Amino acid sequence: MMRRLEGKVILVAGAGGIGSALARRYATEGAAVVLGDLDGAAAQAVAAEIAGEGGQAVGTSLDGSQEASIAAAVALAVASYGGLDGLHANFASFRDGESGADVLGLPLDIYDEVMRVNARGFLLCTRHTVPEMLKRGSGSIVYTSSGAAHMPDVVRVAYAMSKAAGHALMRHVAKRFGPEGIRANVIAPGVIRHAKFDAVMDPAVVTAMAERIPVGRLGEGVDIAALGALLMSDEGSFISGQVLSVDGGGSMRL
C-alpha cells in the first residue's frame, strides 16, 4: 500500500460502512485520523482496530449537524495531532428513504431533518475545518454524496436535494478557497455494500442489482476509500471542484 498521506491529519465525519473504510485507508496510507460518529462507541471501536494494526486514529462521538460537537472534534484533531489537513464529510440521514413517500406525501419534519443533517451539517463541518486548513496553507475536503443527486427516483426527494446541495457547497469551497490552497471534491457512490446493507438486503435483490451494473458487481467501502485517498493526497493536487462518481459505470454522466 502506498503511503501518500504521511504527516496529514484527516477528520472523517461519519463512521458507518463507508466511513470505516475511509478511516482505515487513510490511516494505512499514513494519515492520523479522527473518526467521529453519532455512535461514538462504534467510531472508537474502528479507531482502536486501526491503532491495533499500527495506525494512528482516535474515535469520538460527533454530531455533524451541531456546531459545538464539530468544534470539539476539530479541537481533538488539533490537540491529538497538531492541526488538520483534510475533512471527509461522510455522514447522512436517510430518514426520507425510510418513509417511502414522494414529494406529495413527504412529512415536512422529515424533509427538515434530512436537510438539517446532510446539507446544513456539511456546511457547518466546512465552516469549522477550513480555518484550521488555512493555518496549514493547504487542505482537501471530500464530501460523500450519492448517485441520487443526479439520478431520478420516485422516492427520497429530500435525500437527493440534500446531496445536490452538497455539490453546490463543494463548488463554492473549491472556488473561494482554491487560491488559498484548499481543494474540494464530491464523491458520488453508486450502491455500496457493507455489513448494515447486507443485513437488510435480500441476496436475490443484491444479485439482480449487481447484474445491472456494467462492471458486474456492487461497490464496497474500499472502492470509495481508494478515490478518497487520491483526493486527500498531494497526487490529487490538480483535482478540485469535481463531482466524481464511483459506481461501476452505473450512471455514466457527461
**Which of 44, 129, 140, 146 touches ligand NAD (CB under 6 A)?**
146
- Rounded Cα gap, residues 107 and 128, in angstroms: 31
Total binding residues toward ligand NAD, as defined by CB under 6 A: 27
- For residue 87, the minimal CB distance to ligand NAD (Å) is 13
Does 92 bind ligand NAD (CB under 6 A)? Our answer is yes
Degrees (nearest 5) of the Cα angle 51, 55, 57? 65
Is-catalytic flag, 159?
A: yes
Give 189 or 236: the residue with its C-beta nearer to ligand NAD: 189
Question: Is 223 within 8 Å of 43 (Cβ atoms)?
Answer: no
Give 10 or 136: the residue with its C-beta nearer to ligand NAD: 10
Window 6-35: residues binding ligand NAD (CB under 6 A): 14-19
- For residue 187, the minimal CB distance to ligand NAD (Å) is 8
> Residues 52-71 vs ligand NAD: string with x where CB under 6 A?
----------xxxx------
Catalytically active residues, by annotation:
159
